[in-house]
A and B are shown apart, each in its own frame.
Chain A
Amino acid sequence: MRKILFLSFLVFSFGYSQNKQVLYDFNGLPQTLLLNPGSKVTNKYHVGIPLLSQISLQAGFTGFSAYDIFADNGIPINDKIRAAVNNFGKSEFVTINEQLEILSGGFELPNKSYLSFGYYQEFDFLAKIPKDVIDLFYEGNTIIDRRYSIKKLSSRANLLGVLHVGLTKKINKKWQVGARAKIYSSVLNASTKNNSGNFYLKNGNLNIYNQHLDNVNFSLQTSGVVLNDQNEITPSYVKSNFLFGGSLGLGIDLGFTHQLKKQWVVTGSILDLGFIYNTKNVESYNVKGNFQVEGLQLVFDPNNPQKYWEEIKSDFDEDIILDTINSNYISFRPVKLNGAISYSFGRSYDYCRFLIDADSYLNKVGFQMFSTFGAVHSYIAGTFFYERKLSKKVSTKLTYTIDPFSFANLGAGLSMQLGPVNTYLAVDNLLNLSNLYDSKSASIQLGFNIIVHHKN
């Protein structure tokens, strides 16, 4: 049982993939191909600087911010904690996502399709925390018949390596489509979902109170967490699991770019449509049953001493069944959907007022949608954006996003080409830069690529 509690804690302490609204469809960066394999790419070829081509960090908690608790404003911390607990929704969620591109590259094929490939490492986590669990911890169980439910308690964690190869093909003047195949190599996976059960206190008959655990059904699947006797967590073990020695899976990304009209473009993608077949160090648990206790009934029979404690433990073990399962299982990747519509305007002229490029515009405005859905949690985000080419070498993008963390998430991106070297930076929650601690979420992506464009 203690092992389950530890593993549960582990699950509730790890991540999940999120919105990269600034990077999506930004300036033809190679990394946009990971968000939409059907993106327009005008490069001849690109090579990501190993380990530096994309460093992405995202974290968020919908419940409260660090500033809500630790603001140095004269209000006692215990009052601030109470306020945070009172404002806690029916369930809130916490996410952490980290991606590190180890290798990436791509080149244009003779038929003008673009082949891109690479390998990245990803750690993601999401935990959904019901208020009942917070209340039980914060207040205790002294309210008679108050039911503390674990129905909304769910979480998933995954640490994996992803090898991918994608092809972007222009079908005609209006359509460009792309697909990316992925091989996942999971180092660890843990998930708990579809849980149920109530804990509560009632007035008793034989005793003052009767304590109940009703309809408990809690399951926790793990792979790569509980190691067998042969394995220890060593750098070589983790490396081996990243490099296809772990549980393996397959996935696919699909995307398109559609030139609706000359200045109107619609794009869309579906990412991580795939699964991992968890086979390495698999251990799963299921806890199920009903239990109620009114206490220990003393019989005062010196000739027949009772083992009261053992009996109640035995009753508990009979009524609440713990199954430990070592069967392989399939876990699905959280699927991400992106969609955008944009309008481009503003021509670029040289000093003699000649049109520089008939196919390109300086400005782009539009609206993007992001949605992720999975068994643990789904959410949707909407983004208005403005992208501006400051020159042939420098582009910027500003975004305004409404998501579960904030109704005013302002983001910005900058992409610069210095010779063949491209560098980009995308950050969000700029409005909270004046007080980072007050932010409920933050994300940053940055990287360096060698990008070689066609000569005009």
Chain B
Amino acid sequence: MKNFKFPLIFLLAALVNSCTKDVDFNQIDDANIHASYIVTLVHFDLEANKFLDEINQEMNWTSDVIAAKISTESQKYLEKVEFTIITENSFDREFLINVIFFDENQIPIYQLNPTITIQPNSSSTKTIIIPQSDIDFIYKAKYFGFNIEMPPRVDGGVLSGNETYKLNLKSSVELFFNYRKI
């Protein structure tokens, strides 16, 4: 019988001792995984003729639109959206760029704030943030409009179309996610 003792005691001790140290699975409610992703966005290179009509008359604005539906799968995790806009302007004119979100009926629902103001003969980098309270508009939008306004010169001068001016814009967006309750 003594042969039984050691292995049985060992087994019983192991089995009886089987337990767990303190764990708290409710901690998962406090888990936050912050990750951010950079996505390249729009860019353009506009020359003076983009601001002239068919009869070479100066136009004070031009626009373009992107039709895109953003999937809502990521919406509950998205906390902040930060646009980076880099501009180079060799025009001796100021530009104002408005980015407007439209719904499926092409009705404006949101506008990036502030308006992107580009000074004459300048290079700049700007950051525009969409706060969490406004993120819903990104997912509601079906069209993203880009309106470029070129206010008239104070001295009344206009573009002729022979200028070599360029307005260059580059952009990206950083999406800040917080994966809660994974």
Chain A interface residues (CB < 8 Å from chain B):
66-67, 69-73, 76-78, 81, 137-142, 201, 204, 206-211, 293-302, 305-309, 362, 388, 390-391, 394, 396, 398, 412, 414, 430, 433-438
CA of A193 to CA of B12 in the docked complex: distance in angstroms? 44
Please name 18 further chain A to chain B contacts, defined as beta carbons within 8 Å, in addition to the given A137-B179, A300-B62, A434-B21, sorted by A numbering. Answer: A67-B21, A73-B22, A140-B37, A207-B171, A208-B171, A209-B38, A295-B43, A295-B170, A295-B172, A297-B42, A298-B146, A300-B63, A309-B68, A388-B3, A390-B7, A390-B8, A391-B4, A433-B19
Output the nearest chain B residue to A394 by Cβ-Cβ distance: B4
B19 contacts which chain A residues (CB < 8 A)?
433-436
Using A207-B170, A209-B172, A210-B40 as known contacts, say yes or no to A398 and B7 having CB atoms under 8 A apart: yes
Give the interface SS of chain B, mostly helix, strand, loop or mixed: strand
Q: With a 10 A CB-CB cut-off, give which of A137, A300, A435 has the most chain B CB atoms.
A: A300
CB of B17 closer than 8 Å to a CB of A:
yes
Please determine whether B11 and A142 come into contact, CB atoms closer than 8 angstroms: no
- Residues B43 and A433 in contact, CB atoms below 8 Å apart: no
A208 touching B40, Cβ below 8 Å: yes
**Interface membership of B31, Cβ < 8 A:** yes
Please name all residues of chain B whose beta carbon is closer than 8 Å to the beta carbon of A293 when the two chains form the complex. 40
Contact of B21 among A71, A396, A412 (CB under 8 A): A71
Q: Which positions in B face A, CB cutoff 8 Å?
A: 3-4, 7-8, 10-11, 14-15, 17-25, 27-28, 30-33, 35-46, 50, 62-68, 84, 86, 146, 148, 170-172, 174, 177, 179
Pick the contact of B64 from A300, A309, A398 — CB < 8 Å?
A300
Our pick among A141, A298, A414 for the contact of B43 (Cβ within 8 Å) is A298
Residues of A within 8 A of B36 (CB): 140, 142
Evaluate contact between A296 and B21: CB separation under 8 angstroms: no
Q: Is the CB of A296 within 8 A of B42?
A: yes
List, in ascending order, chain A residues with CB within 8 A of B44's CB.
297-300
Looking at the assembled complex, report how far the CB atom of B45 sits from the nearest CB atom of chain A, in whole angstroms. Answer: 8
Q: List 12 A-B pairs, Cβ < 8 Å.
A: A70-B23, A77-B30, A140-B36, A141-B38, A142-B36, A211-B39, A295-B42, A298-B43, A309-B67, A309-B68, A390-B3, A435-B20
